[in-house]
A = this chain, B = another copy of it.
Amino acid sequence: MEKIIHRYKGKGFKLTPQRLAILKFLEGNNEHPTADEIYTGLKNDYPTLSVATVYNTIETLRDRGEIAEVTIDPERKHFDPNTTPHHHIICMECKRIADIFEDYTSEIALPQEVVEEFSVAGNHIDFYGVCRECRG
């Protein structure tokens, strides 16, 4: 909490109670919540919190590079407070997303014609599988 306040103070970022709540919700959260999950997870404690505020805050944080958008689930966007480059695996049954902290950059050499056509900024691997719980 103190850490969060310290991190956002005096950087053209107003620390409102709503933002603080969202930041606290995301801090160390490795569940990759959606906007709606953030909203639902907070609305009991902050009954007047609006979805718009969640989206606004998410957008601000994303634009500042404080959180990452996870696109592995085609149905909705998930968010990840861990901005260290890493990969994801999604359970095709329950849609749970887990992190994979492994850097494969040196292993995945791109063909020359791609390197010539694109200046490559990064990569992200989506793995697809079924988690133990869903296999029974």
Contact = CB atoms under 8 A, between A and B. Distances in A.
A69 B128 CA distance: 13
Interface stretch (A8-16, A40-48, A117-125): A117-125
A116 to B, nearest CB: 8
Interface residues of A, number: 36
Given A71-B72, A74-B77, A77-B74, A100 B114 contact: yes
A132 to B, nearest CB: 6
A4 interface: no
Nearest to A126: B124
Interface string A73-108: 010010000000000010110000010111010011
